Structure 1
Amino acid sequence: MYLTRFRINTARMGARRLLTSPQALHAAVMAAFAERVAHSGQGPRVLWRIDNTADGEVLLFIVSPERPDLTHLVEQAGWPETGRWQTAPYGPFLAKLAVGETWAFRLSANPVHSIRRTPDESTKRTAHITPRHQADWLLARQEHGGFAVLDRPAAQPGDLESAGYELLVHSQRELAFRKTDSSSGKRLGVKLTRVTYDGRLRVTDPDALRRTLTAGLGKGKAYGCGLMTLAPVAVAPVAVGP
């Protein structure tokens, strides 16, 4: 497994096109691999995420089973004369994860649930739209994901967003675009809600957490959702956006 970081040059027209189209960015990410990367069940897959930093940088993170070549992204959306990307083997870090360790984390995800408005109606996948329900969505996946979000020592009265946990939900974005169905060739509409989670966690099951970090969490993985990354607690990621 590999972890890659690429800085996007937002002044370029190609960058603006990619950042406004999850489908186009997905295609650009997948084009970084000479051979088609197969996705099998809950195994490792290509995951990606866009981060906006406090000092205005836009970063693309990729986790992948193979080492990517982002030359085409440098040409379209980077700095062709000076631009580089950083790729590091992810396996050594993953192998060292141990029960009880604490980490800062960031996750962009598509928090959804299935509802049925009438007994005869088929279930429909629907996005959670409030920070409290979005936080509950992640908390419900802790045990299976191999981690536990840390309790906040002193929750503030009326703090509904994180419900007493070291967790911030922010940067909600509604995405709507069209894609071509691979089997029928028809153009289909896609809508999803993407939010970002920042917080701190404790490792409870290293194997399960390794699976979360390499296979992703939730739906919409092809469109920038599902990638969780860890950082030392001392340099917890800074939340930006509303």
Structure 2
Amino acid sequence: MTAWLIRILPDLRRRDVTKDMADPNQLHKRVMSLVPDDLGADPRAQAGVLFRVEDTRTGVQILVQTQMEPHLSRLPDGYGEAATRQLDGLLDRLQKGSVVHYRIAANPSKRLGKSAGPKAGKIEALRGAAAEQWWAERAAGNGLSVVTISSQSQRDVRAKGGIRHAVVRFDGSAVVTDPELVRTAVLTGIGRGKSYGCGLLSLALATG
């Protein structure tokens, strides 16, 4: 299946950009503007839209992935620099035993059981070693055997209804154990909070 990756370097001097970056719900709307309207009850899933905001050496970037060809013309004039590339080549080259570098900003969490008493059934955010264990298990279930993990807590995201998503970025290397599961994970994302910048799995084949 075809997928596109869009890299946006937003102009942080613009009022509409700063508004988007300060409001997760507004940023979600901006990202969704890149795909067609009227996609049904769950347009994000229908279009395969995932995104992640990153601080880089050269500034902030927004990475957006979609399974529908994006319409960059729907961004406001001057919003920022944007470039697009297809991911088909990378996805096709994934094989069992391939070594990859990964990055994902995820919402590591678990639902509390009866032993938690009054908190039973509630979602608890995971941090530190518990978050890394969560990622290793999720990765294994999605066709990746994690070799190294580096985790870094990001700013929490408050979504509609006051729901808070704790965000942790995981970087490292892994071995592909099931290419089809990995392709599905790349295309559909991993974990909760996909509408608010979580779940986008980025891979690069290791060289040498």
TM-score by structure 2 length? 0.87
2:24 is the counterpart of 1:26: no
Structure 1 residue runs without a partner (length 5+): 151-165, 180-187, 235-242
CA–CA separation in structure 1 for the residues paired with 2:14 and 2:63: 19
- Judge conservation of contact 1:5–1:60 (CA < 8 Å) in 2: yes
Task: Kindly provide the amino acid, as one letter, of the partner of residue 224 in structure 1.
Answer: G
Q: How does 1:210-225 map to 2 (within 5 A)?
A: 210-225=183-198
Q: 1:43 Cα shift?
A: 8.1
Task: Kindly provide the amino acid, as one letter, of the partner of residue 47 in structure 1.
Answer: L
TM-score by structure 1 length? 0.76
Q: What percent identity do the matched residue pairs reach? A: 27
Tell me, what secondary structure is at the counterpart of 1:108?
strand
Greater fraction of residues in helix: 2
Q: 1:231 Cα shift?
A: 2.0
Please name the residue that 1:124 is paired with: 122
Tell me, what secondary structure is at the counterpart of 2:166?
strand
Q: Deviations 1:103-122 (Å, cap 9, x if unpaired)? A: 1111000111011422x764
Q: How does 1:1-242 map to 2 (within 5 A)?
A: 1-37=3-39, 39=42, 45-53=48-56, 55-75=57-77, 77-78=79-80, 83=81, 85-116=82-113, 117-118=116-117, 122-128=120-126, 130-150=127-147, 166-177=148-159, 179=160, 188-233=161-206
Please name the residue that 1:161 is paired with: none
- Judge conservation of contact 1:44–1:211 (CA < 8 Å) in 2: no
Specify the structure having the higher radius of gyration (Cα): 1
Aligned length: 201
Tell me, what secondary structure is at the counterpart of 1:14?
helix
Q: 1:74 Cα shift?
A: 4.7
Change in Cα spacing, 1:43 to 1:96, as seen in structure 2 (3 Å) is farther
Q: 1:131 Cα shift?
A: 1.4
Change in Cα spacing, 1:43 to 1:102, as seen in structure 2 (3 Å) is farther
CA–CA separation in structure 2 for the residues paired with 1:43 and 1:24: 19
CA–CA separation in structure 2 for the residues paired with 1:229 and 1:106: 5
Q: 1:35 Cα shift?
A: 3.6
- Judge conservation of contact 2:5–2:84 (CA < 8 Å) in 1: yes
Task: Kindly provide the amino acid, as one letter, of the partner of residue 123 in structure 1.
Answer: G
CA–CA separation in structure 2 for the residues paired with 1:121 and 1:189: 18
